[in-house]
Amino acid sequence: MEIQKENRNIHDHQRRQMAAKFELKRKLFKAFIRDPDLPAEVREQQQYKLAKLPRNSSFTRLRNRCIFTGRPRGVYQFFRMSRIVFRELASRGALNGIKKASW
C-alpha cells in the first residue's frame, strides 16, 4: 500500500512537470486554432500539432493529491494535504496559526 501511495505522488509530480513544460506550446497552438482570421489549413495544422503533444502535458489531467497520503479527494489546495491529515496535524499543534474553532 505504501508503494502505491508513493507511485501516485510520483506520477502526479511528473504530470505537473510535463504540464508546465508544454504550457506555452499548448497555449500558442490553441490561440492559432481559435483565430478566425487564419486560413482553415493553418488552423488544421495547428490542431494536428496540438493533438501530437503528450496527453499528460494537459493541465486537465492533473489531480490535486495529498502530499502525505496520496489521497485524491478532500484535499485543501492551499496546503496540498487532505482534510484528515490537516485535522491531525492541527490537533497536534504542528501547523502554525491554526487552532480548533470554538464559540
Rounded Cα gap, residues 51 and 72, in angstroms: 27
According to the model, what pLDDT value does residue 81 have?
Answer: 93
pTM (whole model) above 0.75 = no
pLDDT at residue 84 above 90? yes
According to the model, what pLDDT value does residue 15 have?
Answer: 92
Q: What is the pLDDT of residues 32-74, one digit of tens each?
A: 999 999 999 999 999 999 999 999 999 998 889 998 888 999 9
According to the model, what pLDDT value does residue 7 have?
Answer: 82
Question: Could you tell me the domains of the chain?
Answer: 1-63 (1.10.287.1480), 64-103 (4.10.830.10)
